[in-house]
Structure 1
Amino acid sequence: MILIKEFEFDAAHNLVHYKGKCERLHGHTYKLVVKLEGTKDKEDMIFDFVELKHLVNEKILYEFDHGYLNDFIEQPSAENIAEYIWNKLEPMVKRDNCRLYEIEVWETKTSGIVYRGE
């Protein structure tokens, strides 16, 4: 089974190793999709949605939302944002019955990245 939880945050960034419009300061309303793969536990759940929401809000979105992503990630491309989130979240959600399966980071409605770890 795959558990899916979606989040949204607003943040600014600029791509310092890029030539074009995105090297200038700008912002996005990002969509973050977190997916866990697993089997049901003794409560018949892969992971508690409320607990996952709390973890993502407290450990990821608290620092990202209405922030400047370059403060955390040198080159905050969608790829690097997804990898950063994966590395922070993966140890927090790993259980005997489940693991982090996939992170999606969408900069716009039509442009995003999927990351499944290394």
Structure 2
Amino acid sequence: MILIKEFEFDAAHNLVKYHGKCERLHGHTYKLVVKLEGTPDSEGMVFDFVELKRIVKEKVVDKFDHAYINDIISQPTAENIAVYVWNELVEVLKRSNCRLYEVEVWETKTSGVIYRGEAHERLAE
């Protein structure tokens, strides 16, 4: 099963290594989708939605909401934000019955990125 939880936050950034309008300061209402892969536990759940919300809010959303993301990530592209989110969550969401499967970061309703961790690790080898 794939368990899905969506989050939203507003933040500003600028892409310092990009030449175009996005190198100027601007903001987005980001959508973050966190997906866990696993099997239901003895309570019939892959992961408790309340606990997942608390963890993601604490580890990611509270840091990014109404923030200047460049203070956290030097080149805050959707791709780099997704890698950051993955790294913040991968260990803390690991359970005997599930693991982090995928994160999605959407800058707009039509532009986003999906990251699955291990694919990035293969590219880096």
TM over 0.5: yes
Q: Give the Cα–Cα distance (whole angstroms) in 1 for the partners of residues 12 and 19 of structure 2.
A: 17
**Unaligned stretches of 5+ residues in structure 2:** 119-125
Other structure's SS at 2:73 match: coil
Q: CA RMSD in A?
A: 0.5
Query: What is aligned with 1:112?
Result: 112
Query: What is aligned with 2:95?
Result: 95
Q: After the TM superposition, which residues 4-83 of structure 1 pair with which residues of structure 2 at under 5 Å, given as runs? A: 4-83=4-83
Letter in 2 for 1:95: R
Q: Give the Cα–Cα distance (whole angstroms) in 1 for the partners of residues 78 and 33 of structure 2.
A: 13
Tell me the TM-score normalised to structure 1 length.
0.99
Q: How far 1:96 sits from its partner (Å)?
A: 0.7
Residue correspondences, number? 118
Overall identity of the aligned pairs, in %: 75
**Unaligned stretches of 5+ residues in structure 1:** none
Q: How far 1:11 sits from its partner (Å)?
A: 0.2
Q: Give the Cα–Cα distance (whole angstroms) in 1 for the partners of residues 13 and 50 of structure 2.
A: 29
